[in-house]
Amino acid sequence: MPSLPPVIAIDGPTASGKGTVAVLVAEALGFHYLESGALYRLVALASERVGLNSSDAVALGQLSSTLSITFKDGLVLLQGEDVSTALRAEPIGKRASEVAIHPQVRAALVGLQRSFRQLPGLVADGRDMGSVIFPDASLKVYLTASVLARGQRRYKQLIAKGFSANMTDLLRDLEERDARDQTRENAPLLIAAGAKTLDTSDLSVDQAVRQVLAWYQG
């Protein structure tokens, strides 16, 4: 049997820098890139648009299995519509964390996530990439940072995209998301077996990227 394309799985909490680092690592290696969190944001956005309650696990699971999702030229398309900006709104991020706790939603998205594993390789970021989706990843990395550092990053991201933001609310929301992600019964956020931990609180993006590349190439 031919070996599967290599995967670098980068997990971590919200605003730990995993998305930025993953994109740059993928570019450096010429690998494909998967932002798994975008899939849950898409479910959150789509379910909000049709009026589903974020606690309706069965309906959310059914919706998740029918969505038409496309990543193209840096854009995210939902049913053919560019929703790249709408996905980044803070309420959608909060709702994504709420819908992601449901096993029905996660099960519906497993196959889609694994389909991104193509030659020459894949860099995937999320919360369960190394523990559930790609347990055989060539390299597993757990990126973390202090709540304050993550709050400051998130604040800058939102302001840069034209969204309003309040630091106190952001810090509280981050702590709530961390608790929800770490304590959910299905695929909780955790440090996968064999993962290397990298605290990015005091690291530049370039330093973090260089470390991940050194681990992979070494």
Tell me the average pLDDT across 44-48: 97
Give me the amino acid identity at 213: L
What per-residue confidence (pLDDT) applies to 48? 96
**For residue 63, what are the CA distances in angstroms to 44, 60, 87, 174?**
10, 5, 17, 26
SS3 sequence of the chain = CCCCCCEEEEECCCCCCHHHHHHHHHHHHCCEEEEHHHHHHHHHHHHHHCCCCCCCHHHHHHHHCCCCEEEECCEEEECCEECCCHHHCHHHHHHHHHHCCCHHHHHHHHHHHHCCCCCCCEEEEECCHHHHHCCCCCEEEEEECCHHHHHHHHHHHHHHCCCCCCHHHHHHHHHHHHHHHHHCCCCCCCCCCCCEEEECCCCCHHHHHHHHHHHHHC
Per-residue pLDDT tens digits for 137-148: 999 999 999 999
Q: What is the pLDDT of residues 88-127, one digit of tens each?
A: 888 998 899 899 889 999 999 998 899 899 999 999 999 8
pLDDT at 180 over 90: no
Identify the pLDDT of residue 1: 46
The residue-averaged pLDDT of 32-51 equals 94
Q: Given this model, what pLDDT does residue 82 score?
A: 95
What is the strand order of the sheet 69-72 is part of?
69-72, 75-78, 81-82
Q: Which fold has domain 7-217?
A: Rossmann fold (3.40.50)
The predicted pLDDT at position 2 comes to 60
> The sheet that has 7-11: what strands, in order across it?
32-35, 122-126, 7-11, 139-144, 196-199
**In the chain, where the domains are located:** 7-217
pTM for the model:
0.85
